[in-house]
Structure 1
Amino acid sequence: MKKALFLALLAAGGTALAQVGNPGGAINDRLGNPDYGVCRGTDPRCFHAWPRAQVKQYRVLLYTRTAGPRHANLGTPLGPGLDPALAESNVVQREMLRIAQENGWAIDYTEDPAQMLNLSGYNAVIFISTSREALDDGGKTALRQYMRAGGGFVAVHNAFGTLYNWPYYEGLLGNANFFDHGPARDGDVVVVDGKDASTSTLPRRWRFHDEWYNLVPFPTQVRFLATIDEKSWDPAQDRREGDGPPPSGPSPPNLPPMSRYPSVVGRSPGHGTFHPVAWCQYYDGGKVWATTLGHDAKAFEKNGQPGAAEFQAMLVGAIKSVMGAAPFCT
């Protein structure tokens, strides 16, 4: 078997073979190369269980720097340093402070790349809707060394629109990256693995409002935890820029503007019959939990919108699992 795999790799020019048989059909089989040169997947042997000090209080670091588009729920850009003053518009940061307090965690927050050079004091590092080149070279090195020391990483929403040109980070996300999304709308999140610490308290199906990211590459070698049921949203809202003129009659609200010309190139990869929104994996010695959910400010607020309680419970369980306070990716 090993010899056959070696010969197949040689035939492919020494590059890793695409993973076939992905959920949702063959459309997902060749959306990227899943080999990032690290131990990754659901095998706990990929975790570096190094000796470490006993935890007296769990500490988490929230990073929300945007070097490109900025989600409204992040509010005005933060000042330099750790824990700068927050404005009323900084909903994500303020609500994460509340969530940390409710769970007895110490939390720091920052958008300053200089604060990302030493992560060793944190049990979990959380990226929420960061964008583009959010880390400099020193920060990239520190994040990689943090993961290799058995660190915990949580990626939320536009963390998938971040560091596109750093393959290590794409692998960290589970061999996945943001491609595009349709209009924000209501849909049903379906839990496909209810045994994880992040999903064990959730109903199997719950209503939520989000952008429902499409991903290229498609995540591979991960444990899928939740999906969006595409049949649960209004198909009339599937139109995008480049689709040509809309049909006659009343239009659904909040449609994107239509381009003058229909698109002549492929725009959306689709996900076949399986559109994941949350998963977990071991990566290069550390633990990673990722979700594409979290577009709206009200998703982070207490009683903010339908599904907010479920989303926040999932996020709390995720953070607990990557930092070792609950079983991980089981």
Structure 2
Amino acid sequence: MKKILPFLLAFLLGISMLSFAQSGKPKVLIFSKTLRYYHESIPDGIAAIIQMGQQHGFAVDTTKNADFFTDNTLKKYAAIIWLSTTGDVLNPAQQAAFERYIQAGGGYVGIHSASASEKDWEWFGQLTGAVFVNHPPDPVDGVVQVADVNDPSTRQLPKRWKRKDEWYNFKKRMTDVHVLLTADESTYQGGTEGVYHPLAWKHKFDGGRSFYTALGHLSEAYRDPLFQQHILAGIQYSIGKNEPLDYTKAKTAQVP
């Protein structure tokens, strides 16, 4: 009995730790590294998401340091938020770590120019759901149309949502995404996709959860309660059930 007791205690402790990991407070990481255009709205986005976390029960870390992209660091987070990142922000080892994170069951939120990041990394474009091509020269007024009025990220919005933003055009669209918002190109100049122009969507991809919105160029967006709820619901979708990551499901090999 004395020999069995230590193993029994260790087993019970393991169950306790697993239970804590599943039911503990989720933590998300905001990643905002830029190598090309820098959006002045990034600090406003960070402040808004930190406030969301305080109000809705998730912790928020922030970084511009791509060295965070390792298995040991990423596994601490229920979701990684790419906030208006631009350029090729990760090296091959860091890319592999992010692929492994998603394959292990992690969450991803892409906001605005996240789709203009890592444009030659095919897997990332598929995770995001599309790749940025261009936009009209300046932010202009236009109309966003709600494609799904029942989704938590859109049900607070008017069916036709007038707003000023930077209207992205895309290529390499994934067809198996759940589209949430579309652009009405007839309400502004510079749209190139026609009648059906998705702007926000979500999908399951490669073992993880992905939410992307093209909106969020201007600082004022992050002070808008309607846009805040849009982002919040995307974060909550990407967090999911806050289950421990399972790296046995990761298919991508680690890069030395």
**Structure-2-length-normalised TM-score:** 0.81
Q: Could you tell me which residue of structure 2 aligns to residue 144 of structure 1?
A: 99
Residues 220-250 of structure 1: CA deviation (Å, up to 9, x unaligned): 21111111112233x4xx4xxxxxxxxxxxx
Deviation at 1:103, TM superposition (A): 1.4
What residue number does 2:36 align with?
Answer: 68
Query: Is 1:318 aligned to 2:240, yes or no?
Result: no
Mapping of 1:1-330 within 5 angstroms?
A: 53-74=21-42, 90-117=43-70, 118-174=73-129, 176-182=130-136, 183-233=138-188, 235=189, 238=190, 270-301=192-223, 308-324=224-240
Q: Which runs of 4+ in 1 moved over 6 A?
A: none
Aligned AA (2:27): R
Give 1:325 shift. 5.2
2:8: which partner in 1?
A: none
* SS of corresponding position for 1:126: strand
Q: Matched residues in 2 for 1:192 and 1:144: separation?
A: 29
User: C-alpha separation between the residues in 2 aligned to 1:104 and 1:215?
Assistant: 34
- 2:109 is matched by which residue type in structure 1? V
Q: For residues 159 and 241 of structure 2, what CA distance do their matches in structure 1 show? A: 24
Which residue identity is paired with 1:178? F
- Distance across 2 between alignment mates of 1:213 and 1:219: 16
Which structure has the highest strand share of the two? 2
For 1:208, give the aligned amino acid. Answer: R
SS at match of 1:140: helix
Structure 1 unmatched ranges of 5 or more = 1-50, 75-89, 239-267, 302-307
Unaligned runs of 5+ in 2: 1-17, 243-256
User: Which amino acid in 2 is paired with 1:232?
Assistant: T
The alpha carbon displacement at 1:313 in A equals 0.6
Comparing 98-107 with 289-298, greater Cα deviation is found at: 98-107
How far off is 1:168 after superposition? 0.7
Task: Give the equivalent residue in structure 2 for 1:24.
Answer: none
CA offsets 1:109-159 (integer angstroms, 9 cap, x no match) = 000111221311111110011011111222211110111111110101000
Match in the other structure for 1:33: none
Q: Which amino acid aligns with 1:149?
A: A
